[in-house]
Amino acid sequence: MNTWLQTPIQAQQIQAVGITVTDVDRISEFYTTALGFEIISDLTVEDKNFAELQEYPLSKIRIATLKLGDEQIRLMQYLDIKVKPIPADSQSNDLWFQHLAIVVSDMDRAYSHLQSFGIEFISTEPQTIPPENKEAAYIQAFKFRDPDRHPLELIWFPPDKGQEKWHQKSDRLFLGIDHTAIAINNTEESLQFYRDCLGMRVDGGSFNWGETQAKLDGLPDVKVGITALRPTQGGLGIELLNYIEPANGRPIPSDLKPYDIAYVQVELIIDDINKGSDRSYRIKDPTGHSLWLFSKQN
C-alpha cells in the first residue's frame, strides 16, 4: 500500500471500470448490441509514462470507452503483447472474480434478449432472492460471461431496493451499472481499506445463502457475506463478496499483468491530496484487486 494511504483520503466518484480484452471490435459489438452500451471514444495510445504507470512493456493500446446510462467502462486491447486468457475453470469465489452489475427494467425481457447471443451462463437462470433474506428480498439477478469470459450480472431491484434512479420511468431495457462486485479474502480487512483509507461509505449489505444463491453463483452450498460501498458523490459502487462456503477460492495470481484478460481496474477520483496538482496512482486492495486513483484539484 502506498505510504500516503496512511492518511485517510476521500473517494469522490468511480470514473470508469477498465477491462482488458482480446479484441475491441468484437467485445464492443457485444456490449453495444447485447447490452445497450454506446461507444463514446475509441483511440490508440503509445505512451512511455502511461506504460510505466501500468507496469507493462511499452505497447500500443487501443482503448474504447463505452457508456450505459451514467456509467462508463473502458475496453483495453494491448495490440503487440501476448495476453493470457481467463482460466477456463474460473469460479465465482476465485479471488480474481469481478463482475459488473447491469441494471435492467425487466428481467424476463433482458434474459430473453441475451439468449439470442449464445452467452455462457454462470447462473442456471434468473434468480429471485427469497423473502426471508430481508436485506435483499425480491432482488432478481442473473450471472453470465461476455465473449472474453469476463463475468457480468443482470440485476433488477424491487421498489424498496436499490438507488432511486433505477426506479425512474424509462423505456430502456438496460439502464446502467449499479456496482462492480469483487471477491475478497476478509470483509473487515477490506473495509479498513475502502471505508477507512479511501473514505467510501457503507451503503447496505446482506448475507446470502441456500439454493437460490447456489444457482445464481454456479457453486454448491453457498454462504456469502455482501457489503455495498459507494463514494461520497454516489453513483457506481463497489460490492465486497466474502464467500464463507465454499471458502474463498484461489488467490489473484502474483504475475497477473494489466494486459492479461482477467485484469480489471477501477478508476477512482479522489480529493486533491497533493494540493494544487493533478496526479494518478496505481494501487491494489488487500485482496489484490487493482485501482487507479486520480487526484484532481477541487
Per-residue pLDDT, averaged over 186-196, amounts to 96
Asked if 156 and 240 sit in the same domain, the reply is yes
The band of 46, judged by pLDDT with boundaries at 50, 70 and 90, is: confident
Give the Cα separation of 270 and 298 in Å (integer).
10
Using alpha carbons, select from 181, 134, 195 the residue that is nearest to residue 160: 134
0.75 surpassed by pTM = yes
C-alpha cell at 54: 501500468
Lowest mean pLDDT among 4-13, 180-189, 272-281, 284-293: 272-281
Contact 172, 105 (CB under 8 A): yes
Q: Supply the pLDDT for residue 57.
A: 62
List Cβ neighbours of 285 (8 Å cut-off, separation of 6 or more). 182, 184, 190, 193, 194, 291
List Cβ neighbours of 179 (8 Å cut-off, separation of 6 or more). 100, 101, 228, 236, 237, 238, 239
Domain assignment present for residue 152? The answer is yes
Per-residue pLDDT, averaged over 52-56, amounts to 60
Asked if 108 and 240 sit in the same domain, the reply is yes
- Identify the domain containing residue 160 by its residue range: 98-245
Asked if 240 and 265 sit in the same domain, the reply is no
Asked if 127 and 163 sit in the same domain, the reply is yes
Per-residue pLDDT, averaged over 278-287, amounts to 86
At 177, which CATH number? Answer: 3.10.180.10
Q: Which amino acid is at 7?
A: T
Q: Supply the pLDDT for residue 271.
A: 85
Q: Percent of the chain beyond pLDDT 70?
A: 90
